Structure 1
Amino acid sequence: MNKPLGVTVIRHIVDSQRLHPEATGDLSGLLNELVVAGKTISAEVNMAGLADILGMSGKTNIQGEKVQKLDEFANNTIKKRMARCGYLCVMTSEEEDDVIPVADGYEGKYTLAFDPLDGSTNIDVNVNIGTIFSVHRRRTPGGQGSKEDMLQRGRDQVAAGYILYGSSTMLVFTTGDGVQGFTLDPSVGEFYLSHPDIRTPERSKYLSINEGNRNYWPENVRGFVDLLKEKDQEKGRPYSCRYIGSLVADFHRNLISGGIFIYPRDSKNPKKPYGKLRLLYEAAPLAMLIEQAGGRAITDDGINILDIEPTDLHQRVPLIIGSKLDVDEAEGFLR
């Protein structure tokens, strides 16, 4: 399907729906509601320094992390917007201990997992942050959804994406038919198609990893990172390091320009033996995006992220994600 630059995201969603005569429009409606929530959060992010919502809220989330005021705003915005949209049966958020019920009488056939503001520790220093989301069809037959509906493989997602708040606000998402990128025009409050059919480079020259944790990595991970730093003219090495510390920002740069992002398991914190990244609303949606764009996503022992059966809402996984040939090489080296 030809995707002309400048088409609005709403028009794109409607046009895509027309290719599926069996579609009811519920997924389209759900995505439209997420778009509105993203616009609301974007406006608040852009005014954060003037609106006294920078800094900490004084609360701690289920991850044991201090909650930023803007984090709390984003979480509440998505919850309130989506609870009565009529397309969801249940939600889960990085900021909530348990599943989030929808309003009675508004139960739908999809689930939503989201990180309301990934990279929020960078809010006060004006580094790119973003909202990550994942959508599945429900498993249970009707009424309010449950934890069972949320705990599904990434392979079974029907949509995934993120909204990146930075020098411009971008929406990047997939429904299983390629990856599309839209940029928000704040003058009219509309997302326009700016990056159609995104394909990530097959091989890159960039590495994204927090080398401050090197001493805590498994030996094979240290060996692979050292390999990427060795001179190899044929493979364009040594690689250059590019690490922002905001997963969604690091991922977006690598998606567009090529790169491999690594957050392995480490021994730094005994309570987090598999690293800090969560499967349901960080690793799995980004894995769907990168596969749709021609890349790959695996754990540091070679398991495809999309094939992991989750056992907990806030399950953590090691993550290696990015350009296909780089991840292939990592897989061969680490196994």
Structure 2
Amino acid sequence: MARQSLGLTTLGEYLERHSETGPLGFSVATAVDAIATACIEISGLARGGAPVTSADIILGTNADGDVQKDLDISADWLIRRALASASIAAFASEEAAKPEFYDPASLLCVAVDPLDGSANLDLNMSVGTIFSITPAPRDVSQAFRRPGTEQIAAGFALYGPQTSFVLTLGDGVDIFTLDPADAIFRLTRARVRIPADVSEFAINASNRRYWDPPVRAFIDECLAGVEGPADQDFNMRWIGSLVAEIYRILLHGGVFLYPADNRDGYGNGRLRLVYEAHPMAFIVEQAGGAASTGYARVLDLAPDTVHQRVPLILGSSEQVRRIEQFHGPEIGACTNAPLFAHRGFFRV
């Protein structure tokens, strides 16, 4: 896709060019435009401007057991309203128990996390919206049981000091920034590339005692710095917001780990495959990075359920590959840690 100079291309112009590639391209452009429109409204709510309802009120838990706030519901409603203008065969949301099926003749399926990281709202930390778009299968009931390789578009909005819209249409990654004066997203970073080897990692180190040996061995190697086998010093980051972590990696590199661990409810990881891990893995790979469970490429996994959880390790390709080495049969040659007993993608 041809790109104009930075600062001159709006998201609308960008999508208009994509819409000219054919019926599927037109449908994708329409859906992305609708989601972006909703993200502009969600950005206003996240910043506290004329909220639909109070963002601080906890309504209960969603279908997957996570705390659900008013702003989660408002974001979900805004996305649904915006997508009414698009032709969607199936829709899945973190806030809904089951996928919803509409016109089977439509070309697309859309999965969203309407407000990722909403627990951080009262801390004034960055939150965001994540989405994944796939072609509608012949049997629409299988819409959200397919591997991530079938995605044709994915992206996320980050609501921080600026509102950024990260997008891949399967041809690299571009970042748009909201111009608040005109309520328009403008291209500010084109063809984003993640450096292959950056000495920076992000993980919640307070859970170290629950980690499996391969994860612990990799982090110990990082902490050993120049005195260890990595022969370099590492910086540690942990924002606790998936959208913020991945945005930082897109711009500066490094690796993000949210592994499975031995706590109750974390045995298969914690992030959702369909609307968190799949789109983020697609974006990261399109930017030259890698995404893995430790054992397998995330995009090769097909979920059994729409809310299925998965371990997620993604970022700079060399660091992800190093973590995979710790999980592999050659771990004994890499570390003094005991061999990892599990060999599946998920635990039983």
Same fold flag (TM > 0.5): yes
Q: Which residue of 2 aligns with 1:94?
A: 94
CA contact (8 A) 2:144 2:305 kept: no
CA contact (8 A) 2:18 2:25 kept: no
| Alignment counterpart, residue 289 of structure 1, candidates 280, 283, 288 | 283
Q: Which residue of 1 aligns with 2:35?
A: 34
SS of 1:25 mapped into structure 2: helix
Q: How does 1:180-199 map to 2 (within 5 A)?
A: 180-199=174-193
Q: Which residue of 1 aligns with 2:339?
A: none
CA contact (8 A) 1:86 1:108 kept: no
Cα distance in 2 for partners of 1:162, 1:208 equals 19
| Match status 1:9 vs 2:11 | yes
Measured at CA, do residues 5 and 221 of structure 1 come closer, stay the same or move farther in structure 2, by a change above 3 Å?
same
Cα distance in 2 for partners of 1:129, 1:36 equals 17
Aligned-residue CA RMSD (Å): 2.0
Q: State the shift of 1:85 in Å.
A: 2.2
Listed one character per residue, the Cα deviations across residues 99-134 of structure 1 (whole Å, up to 9, x for unaligned) are 1244xx696210011101111110111100000000
What TM-score, normalized to structure 1?
0.92
| Match status 1:130 vs 2:132 | no
Q: Which residue of 1 aligns with 2:143?
A: 149
SS of 2:268 mapped into structure 1: coil
What is the percentage of aligned positions where both structures have the same residue? Answer: 34
Equivalent residue letter for 1:311: D
Q: Which residue of 1 aligns with 2:321?
A: 328
Equivalent residue letter for 1:278: R
Q: How does 1:170-181 map to 2 (within 5 A)?
A: 170-181=164-175
Listed one character per residue, the Cα deviations across residues 36-79 of structure 1 (whole Å, up to 9, x for unaligned) are 11111111111259776231332210121220111111011112
Cα distance in 2 for partners of 1:330, 1:246 equals 22
Equivalent residue letter for 1:131: T
SS of 1:135 mapped into structure 2: strand
CA contact (8 A) 1:85 1:106 kept: no
What TM-score, normalized to structure 2?
0.88
Cα distance in 2 for partners of 1:98, 1:16 equals 31
Equivalent residue letter for 1:57: I
- More deviation, 171-180/46-55: 46-55
- Count the aligned residue pairs: 325
Measured at CA, do residues 12 and 73 of structure 1 come closer, stay the same or move farther in structure 2, by a change above 3 Å?
same
Cα distance in 1 for partners of 2:292, 2:49 equals 36
CA contact (8 A) 2:45 2:51 kept: no
Cα distance in 2 for partners of 1:70, 1:51 equals 8
Q: Which residue of 2 aligns with 1:206?
A: 200
Cα distance in 2 for partners of 1:198, 1:235 equals 27
Q: Which residue of 1 aligns with 2:85?
A: 85
Measured at CA, do residues 15 and 65 of structure 1 come closer, stay the same or move farther in structure 2, by a change above 3 Å?
same
Cα distance in 1 for partners of 2:278, 2:231 equals 29
> Any stretches of 5+ residues in structure 2 without a counterpart?
329-348
Cα distance in 1 for partners of 2:19, 2:30 equals 11
Q: Which residue of 1 aligns with 2:74?
A: 73
